[in-house]
Structure 1
Amino acid sequence: MKVVFDTNILISAIVYGGTPRYCLDIAREGKIKFYTSRILLLELATKLQKKFEWEDYKIETTIRGISKYARIVEPSESIDVISKDEKDNRILEVASEVDADFIVSGDKKHILPLEKFGNTIILSAAEFIKLIDTKD
């Protein structure tokens, strides 16, 4: 199962825990294939620094940790589906590149309303966990 996590899911998992952390734990345990890109990891690092005032060493350690189990790809095509928040297209680009089964997002304004992108189903963290738990 190929999954792309929106940066907001990664932030929630790292900073707050709960259901998003459970999603990340599933990826860390190798139960799913988690895909991301350098651009999305850079966005994560920037948000941890600016919004949460994390120090560089803590950010670097976190990114290195994620990189150990994430499959980092560089999308070959540019996608421009979401005009209101252009950065959200980077998530769609990764999903398209790997033909992801799921995008997991907490973005109720731009990503979740799409519901589907190509063959990729878009779910909240809670919906994704419910789906995973029923497959076990």
Structure 2
Amino acid sequence: MTTSVKNGKKPKVVLDTNVLISALVFGGKPRQITDLLADEMIRVAISHEALTELRRKITAKFPDSVEVLKRFEKLLERDAQLVTLGSIQINICQDPDDNKFIETAVLGNCDFIISGDRHLLGIGQYEDIKIIKPAAFLKLLEDSKL
């Protein structure tokens, strides 16, 4: 599998909630990844459940970032695939709440799950879906000379 857009195939990813919160609130490498979505260099799949969790956590813990979240939601509406969960059930994560990210990746035909969660990262790969940290994903893109 290539992470290059040179062949016309942009990598498709699932971003876990903590990566999204980091991107929206703190910036850094997670923000670089959401910027790639805005620049149409990657494709993103997200579930209704993950979006609800993101809204809940941002509103409760980072109320100053609610406006940033609203702008990001508009980007997701325009550019992301919204996945409806329930047609498959995957139970391999130590934290059952993390299964939704793998289910989203499978249903969305994704190449990567980008996460900082040690339990998800410990799985490493599910079927053909690699589970990696934001920095590792950015390095793969950089190495493919995008």
Tell me whether the two structures share a fold, i.e. TM-score over 0.5: yes
Alignment partner, residue 56 of structure 2: 46
Q: Distance in 1 between matches of 2:25 and 2:19?
A: 10
Letter in 2 for 1:133: E
Give structure 1 stretches of 5+ with no counterpart. none
How many equivalent residue pairs?
A: 134
- Indicate conservation of the 8 Å contact 1:105/1:125, yes or no: yes
- Indicate conservation of the 8 Å contact 2:30/2:134, yes or no: yes
SS for the counterpart of 2:113 is strand
Summarize deviations over 1:24-49 as a string: whole Å, max 9, x none: 11111111111111111001001101
Give structure 2 stretches of 5+ with no counterpart. 1-10
Identity in percent: 34
Alignment partner, residue 4 of structure 2: none
SS for the counterpart of 1:63 is helix
Alignment partner, residue 144 of structure 2: 135
SS for the counterpart of 1:67 is helix
Q: Distance in 2 between matches of 1:55 and 1:105?
A: 21
Summarize deviations over 1:77-127 as a string: whole Å, max 9, x none: 122111x4211111011011122111100112x111111011100110000
Q: Distance in 2 between matches of 1:106 and 1:69?
A: 23
Q: Distance in 1 between matches of 2:64 and 2:54?
A: 11
- Indicate conservation of the 8 Å contact 1:45/1:63, yes or no: no
Query: RMSD of the alignment, in Å?
Result: 1.7
Residue among 68, 72, 92 paired with 1:81: 92
Q: Distance in 2 between matches of 1:78 and 1:54?
A: 35
Q: TM-score, normalised by structure 1?
A: 0.89
SS for the counterpart of 2:116 is coil
Q: Distance in 1 between matches of 2:84 and 2:21?
A: 21
